[in-house]
Amino acid sequence: MSDVPFQSAVEQSRALAAGEISSRELVELYLDRIAAHNPVLNAVVTLDPERARREAGEADAARAAGRDLGPLHGVPITVKDSFETAGMRTVCGRRDLKDYVPDQDAEAVRRLRSAGAVIMGKSNMPPGNQDVQADNPVFGPSSNPWDTTRTSGGSAGGGAVATAAGLTAFDFGSEIGGSTRIPSHFNGLYGHKSTWRSISLIGHVPGGPGTGRWTNPDMACGGAQVRDARDLVPILRATTGTSAYDSGFSYTLAPPRATKLADFRVAVWGEDPACPVDSDVAAAMDDAVTVLRAAGAKVTVQPASLPVDIATNHRKAFLPLLYGALSYDRTGLTPAPNAALLARLIQHPRGDAGPALLGTFQSHYRWQLAHAVRNELRQRWFEFFQDFDVVLMPVTPTAAPVHHNKLIDRFGRPFEVDGVRRPYWDQVKWNAVANVSGGPATTIPVCRSRSGLPVGVQAMGPSGGDLTTIEFAALLGREVDGFLAPPAFV
């Protein structure tokens, strides 16, 4: 049984179907591991073990009765604490929601349950999804299972830790600027950002609770963090699709453009002066390119036809759109963070504080300018993907940094890239490309850093091409390190 907690969700589904293990046994196995390891990792912040046991028993009974089963039937999972879960508290890292227990599921959670998933609990995250770590004043920080002095990443950091450490089959999350991909990269997982608007975010906080639950925040997407890239396929098949009130519109996953590495046309974008990467990340990119060339893929490094550069994407499109989306939730605009923002603005007038201040209170006209840039870039990416199937990029400039223990950014939170101090929010810049384009992106764990931490890359594809980036990630992952269980938690 020692390898079962680290099996892929697809392997677990096969074992369940074959009667090699029951859903109830699988739930008990994960609950035991959560009890043993979560005190150190702080990945799972809310559990409902009795409901999980009951639902697992119902799943086993349905299987025994020969009833039609969903693609995730009996598989125990966790869900990011930003999704409303009926009867299970949804805190979103916020003090004002620490006792909030919804009476209905978020739409994506409802679909996961309909597909047969057993939701054991909720995973840790920062307040309001707004950080590149999983730390908040209600539950505290999640720690990386490869080195507990290191950050989990964020915002879906608790889910990445739980998945990597074998505390859940997978974690279902969300992102607006790399929140699934960054923690997947830091913890050695495959992480997926879905095509924009393909997964409903009704019941995601923010906007909810209240009438805000019906919003689908701009650029925000559903996603998941898994140990095997192909686990993402049944997850997407379970959750993609329009909301009931959009019944005149349909969303269909396009088939993968290729099923062998040799048939992929790969653009490699590994360098940009606005967001330099360290030698470990550069080595991971080089390793991936070497494998792709050996497999016969058509590889083009730094193609001249790239639709945008990092600086333009970030300043002219991502930041104003991001702050426009986040400005709906004003719970974070309290005296302490406001004072911190002012302090950073005084200390670094040309730093990140100015765009944050302007973006939060921007006019609709200014947002429309950014929206127009976004639409032009989406068209350019559409044209680019006529010649390429995926673009290979870094996820962040480094492997997981150490905990910085700052919930409020008073004077900046720099991190080092090969000994050079860089702004904290550089960690989202490579990810923001896919958030602006709207296309899917999948992380692939490639190798280990000089200090033994996981290092990944990401493959971005055309809108609707989720199965293309997932298939590419699965094939490349077989030829590089792929997922490895963190030794301290095996």
Q: Which two tokens stand for residue 203?
A: 């019941």
- Extended beta strands in 395-432, E state: 415-417, 420-422
Query: Model confidence over 137-157: pLDDT tens digits?
Result: 999 999 999 999 999 999 999
% of the chain beyond a pLDDT of 90? 84
Where is pLDDT greater, at 193 or 216?
A: 193
CB 159, CB 80: distance < 8 Å: yes
**pLDDT over 70 (residue 390):** yes
Dist CA 427 CA 397 (whole Å): 6
* Secondary structure letter of residue 402 according to DSSP: B
**Per-residue pLDDT at 1:** 67
**pLDDT over 70 at 410, yes or no:** no
Q: Which of 287, 291, 280 is CA-nearest to residue 455?
A: 280
Residue 407 is predicted with a pLDDT of: 80
Bridge-based pairing state of the strands 221-226 and 171-175: antiparallel
Name the pLDDT band for 409 (thresholds 50, 70, 90): low
> By C-alpha distance, which of 254, 198, 303 is closest to 471?
254
Please report the DSSP string for 224-245 in residue order: EEESSGGGHHHHHHHHBS--GG
Checking if the pLDDT of 333 tops 90, the result is no
Burial of 64 (0-12, 13-18, 19+ CB in 10 A): exposed
DSSP letters for 146-177 = TEEEEE--SSSHHHHHHHHTTSSS-EEEEESS
d(CA 425, CA 42): 24
DSSP string, 450-484: TTS-EEEEEEE--TT-HHHHHHHHHHHHHHS----
Decide: helix, strand or coil at residue 488. Answer: helix
Band the pLDDT of 345: cuts 50, 70, 90.
confident
Q: Tell me which residue of 21, 238, 375, 156 sits closest to 367, measured CA to CA.
A: 375
Least confident of 110-114, 176-180, 215-219, 277-281: 215-219
Smallest Cα–Cα separation from 34: which of 25, 23, 46, 24? 46
The count of other CB atoms within 10 Å of the CB of residue 22 is: 18
Residue 49, Cα to own-chain centre: how many angstroms?
A: 25
pLDDT at 408 over 70: no
**pLDDT, mean over the chain:** 94
Is the distance from CB of 237 to CB of 449 less than 8 angstroms? no
Percent of the chain whose predicted confidence (pLDDT) is above 70: 98
pLDDT band at 350 (very low <50, low <70, confident <90, very high): confident
pLDDT of residue 70: 96
Mean pLDDT of all residues in 10-29: 98
Identify the bridge partners of residue 265 per DSSP, sorted by sequence position.
298
Over the Cα atoms of the chain, what is R_g?
A: 21
Per-residue model confidence (pLDDT) at position 296: 98
User: How many contiguous H segments (helices) and E segments (strands) does the chain have?
Assistant: 15, 15
Instruction: Kindly tell me if the per-residue pLDDT of 211 is higher than 90.
Output: no
Token pair 């916020």 in the structure block, residue? 94
Candidates 329, 257, 326, 332; CA nearest to 298 is: 257
Residue 411 has pLDDT above 60, yes or no: no
Neighbours of 266 (CB within 10 A): 23
Beta bridge mates, 72: none
C-alpha–C-alpha distance, residues 152 and 125, integer Å: 10
At what angle are helices 23-41 and 49-64 packed, to 10 degrees? Answer: 160
Q: Please write the tens of the pLDDT for every residue from 278-330.
A: 999 999 999 999 999 999 999 999 999 999 999 999 999 999 999 999 887 76
Q: Sketch out the chain's domains with CATH numbers.
A: 4-267+285-305+384-489 (3.90.1300.10)
What 3-state DSSP class applies to 376? helix
Average of pLDDT values for 468-481? 98
Is the pLDDT confidence value at 199 over 60?
Answer: yes
Please indicate whether residue 75 or residue 411 has the higher confidence score (pLDDT).
Answer: 75
Burial (CB count within 10 angstroms: exposed 0-12, middle 13-18, buried 19+), residue 245: exposed
Distance separating alpha carbons of residues 182 and 52, to the nearest angstrom: 29
- 483 CB contacts (<8 Å, ≥6 apart)? 164, 188, 189, 190, 227, 228, 445, 477
